[in-house]
């Protein structure tokens, strides 16, 4: 289960002079840093200095921002190597590592749970940020694999001991989830008066993998990560997108004697057909008890119970999609932040495939030694991959306070987005 948390803390710095219109840039989407406005993302806020009534009104409108103020991570104990996979699927370590850059992944087993990893990563983020659970105003769980159909965020809020019953809810955006969560947190801080927002990314993709399909089982793992920032401007610009046309698929049904299902793809009449343009795990309807249907019930009622199919992916399409849109979204975020790629200290991408990481870095003219990656150890952990990699880079001393990071996620939906942020 991939899991990640992030914290944001807004600050309202001293405004001892009236702010001119030239000192602020306001964009249709994303943020522009200001010379007088400080931004933070975990999200605890302070007010400094004395302001006039008009200045106070301005600070309420645009003076708050997000800054990551801590990070944490958690992974399952059980490790599956490429050699382990070769024991039950036709593959080998060289074949996997050359094509993906992955050598190991962690998988939930036994009593491990998505919620447990989320809680552990969140607690580490709170500890680094020095924020008490009672001071959390909002919990955002970014996940495509919750353990409760109606969302898992409230259970995490309860386990953390948030006694004031802050709002907690799930966000579904697949591998882009954590970036979307950070931007959502900033919107609550900027426009809603929230102060401490906990952003968690969690995905147990191993539960939806066909472990006999070497095209997908080699890619995914479970993990948890969390991120929080510090005092000055922390989130400078962002850019978010989705494209439903990239998720063209047909639900997988089966013919039944009394209730045949007719499916249509591109105006072609089909049955038992599944089409995947990029990446998805569609609803699969289970066969019902024929005795129940023959007992005078209306055809098609009661509804059939359903589950999700295993993950389906078109690897070539995903690669072409990612190397096209990820550089574009990062360049857009940099433009909104008033920065260039030369201003980036680290490139932090969703950890999907080493070839994608290298291709994006090359197109942005960022040296490979400035690309943060732990893909070899964990594989694709979906919404957890960005904060998990960030946490390891921070705790190892690679990422230092003041470093500027370009982060980008991309995945099923299709969804993609980026954010330019500063650590520490």
Residues noted as catalytic:
175, 350, 380
The two three-digit tokens of residue 190, written as one number: 């900027």
Instruction: Reduce the secondary structure of the chain to three states and give it as a string.
Output: CEEEEEEECCEECCCCCCCCHHHCCECCCCECCCCCCCCCCCCCCEECCCCCHHHHHHHHHHHCCCCECCEEEECCCCEEEHHHHCCCCCCCHHHHHHHHCCCEEECCCCCCCHHHHHHHHHHHHHHHHCCCHHHCCEEEEECCCCCCCCCCHHHHHHHHCCCCCCEEEEECCHHHHHHHHHHHHHHHHHHHCCCCEEEEEEECHHHHCCCCCHHHHCCECCEEEEECCCCCCCEEEEEEEECHHHHCCCCECCCCCCCCCCEEECCEEECCCCCCCCEECCEEECCCCHHHHCCCCCCCCCCCCEEECCCEECHHHHHHHHHHHHHHHHHHHHHHHCCCHHHCCEEEECCCCHHHHHHHHHHCCCCHHHEECCHHHHCECHHHHHHHHHHHHHHCCCCCCCCEEEEEEEECCCEEEEEEEECC
Q: Establish whether the linkage from the previous residue to 302 is cis, with ω within 30° of 0.
A: yes
141: exposed, middle or buried (Cβ count in 10 Å: 0-12, 13-18, 19+): buried
Q: Are 339 and 233 in contact (CB under 8 A)?
A: no
Q: Are 45 and 64 in contact (CB under 8 A)?
A: yes
């Amino acid at each position: 289960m991939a899991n990640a948390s992030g914290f944001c803390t807004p600050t309202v710095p001293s405004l001892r002079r009236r702010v001119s219109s030239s000192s602020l840039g306001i964009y249709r989407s994303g943020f522009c840093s200001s010379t007088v406005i400080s931004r933070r993302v975990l999200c605890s806020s302070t007010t400094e200095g004395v302001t006039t009534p008009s200045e106070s009104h301005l600070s309420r409108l645009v003076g708050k921002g997000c800054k990551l103020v801590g990070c944490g991570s958690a992974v399952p104990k059980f490790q599956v190597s490429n050699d382990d996979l070769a024991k039950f699927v036709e593959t080998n370590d060289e074949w996997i590592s050359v094509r993906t850059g992955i050598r190991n992944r962690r998988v939930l087993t036994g009593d491990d749970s998505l919620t447990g990893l989320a809680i552990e990563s969140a607690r580490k983020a709170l500890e680094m940020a020095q924020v008490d659970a009672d001071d959390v105003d909002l919990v955002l769980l970014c996940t495509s694999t919750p353990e409760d159909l109606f969302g898992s965020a409230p259970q995490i809020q309860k386990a953390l001991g948030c006694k004031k019953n802050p709002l907690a809810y799930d966000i579904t955006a697949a591998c882009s989830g954590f970036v979307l969560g950070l931007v959502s947190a900033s919107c609550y801080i900027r426009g809603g008066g929230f102060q401490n927002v906990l952003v968690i990314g969690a995905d147990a993709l191993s539960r939806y993998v066909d472990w006999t399909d070497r095209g997908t089982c080699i890619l995914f793992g479970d993990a948890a990560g969390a991120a929080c920032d510090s005092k000055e401007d922390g989130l400078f610009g962002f850019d978010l997108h989705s494209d439903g046309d990239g998720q063209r698929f047909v639900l997988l049904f089966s013919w039944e004697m009394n209730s045949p299902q007719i499916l249509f793809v591109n105006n072609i009449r089909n049955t038992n057909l599944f089409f995947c343009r990029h990446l998805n795990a569609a609803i699969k309807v289970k066969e019902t008890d024929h005795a129940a249907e023959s007992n005078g019930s209306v055809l098609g009622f009661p509804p059939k119970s359903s589950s999700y199919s295993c993950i389906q992916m078109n690897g070539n399409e995903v690669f072409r999609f990612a190397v096209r849109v990820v550089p574009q979204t990062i360049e857009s975020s940099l433009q909104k932040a008033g920065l260039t790629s030369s201003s980036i200290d680290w490139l932090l991408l969703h950890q999907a495939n080493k070839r994608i990481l290298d291709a994006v870095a090359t197109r942005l003219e960022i040296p490979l030694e400035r690309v943060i990656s732990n893909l070899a150890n964990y594989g694709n952990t979906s919404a957890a991959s960005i904060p998990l990699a960030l946490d390891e880079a921070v705790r190892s001393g690679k990422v230092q306070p003041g470093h500027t990071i370009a982060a980008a996620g991309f995945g099923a939906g299709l969804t993609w987005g980026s954010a330019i942020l500063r650590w520490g």
